[in-house]
Amino acid sequence: MPGFPSPFGSDDEDLFDGYDEFVAETVPRPGGFLDGHDVLTGADHLAFHRLTRECFEERKVYDMTFDYNLARLNLDTRHGDAGFRYAVERGDAPDAVDGSEVDRVLRAEFTPTTAFCPQTHTLTVGAFRAWNGLADRHEYDLVRVRAAASHNQSEAVNDRLAALEEAYLETGDVEVDLEEGVGVESTPTSGTEASGAGGRSADAPF
């Protein structure tokens, strides 16, 4: 079986920031999902994003358009407004998670490279399953994921993510299968996608 390409090497290293560099100009600005919460910057952002690289590598959350681990999108200077931003959720927020078993919550907001990226649903679901399926790697009881409002189907994508989050909190299973039919494309076509090697389904690795 062919392997996945390594996210750590490239012929164009000068196009990427380092995992130990927080460059505000080449990461997306925090959007509405992070508003009012404690946005990670500097060393805090870097520490969680390095862990994200490891989680995405293990769960094979890959951007197949650019042929690298999705975490590397944050470092790609060609797409300075794309990638993930993070914030620690404030418990007193109106939309904070309400649960006795959920104490520390992190919010992650994904901004795709274009407003019409057809794989934003697949990528955000893959990220959710990677972070929460490997929860022993970090300090958070839950990582909530949403697509930035700039995406043309953000409402439908985020409804799907909210349903997945609710099911996970009820069952503890990140692989829970939701019913189809929320109006977002789930079959890879073109553009940014997360998939396995050898023609496997984009949802399979997650």
Looking at residue 104, its pLDDT comes to: 95
Which residues neighbour 60 within 8 Å (Cβ) at sequence distance 6 or greater? 4, 194, 196, 205, 206
Q: What is the DSSP string of 16-69?
A: B--TT---GGGSPPP-GGGTTSEE--HHHHHHHHHHHHHHHHHHT-EETTTTEE
The Cβ of residue 201 has, within 10 Å, a number of other Cβ atoms equal to 13
Looking at residue 57, its pLDDT comes to: 97
Rounded Cα–Cα distance for residues 18 and 22 (Å): 8
Task: Write the pLDDT tens digit of every residue in 161-181.
Answer: 999 999 999 999 999 877 643
Q: What is the DSSP string of 148-192?
A: -TTSTTHHHHHHHHHHHHHHHHHH--TTPPPPS-SS---S--SSS
- Coil, strand or helix at 128: helix
The single-letter DSSP state of residue 76 is B
Q: How many helices and strands, by DSSP H and E, does the chain display?
A: 3, 6
Half-sphere exposure of 184 (CA within 13 A, CB side): 26
Task: Write the pLDDT tens digit of every residue in 115-148.
Answer: 999 889 999 999 999 999 999 999 999 999 999 9
Task: Write the pLDDT tens digit of every residue in 54-98.
Answer: 999 999 999 888 889 999 999 998 988 999 999 999 999 999 998
More confident residue, 21 or 201: 21
Predicted TM-score of the model (pTM): 0.81
Task: Write the pLDDT tens digit of every residue in 31-60.
Answer: 999 999 999 999 999 999 999 999 999 999
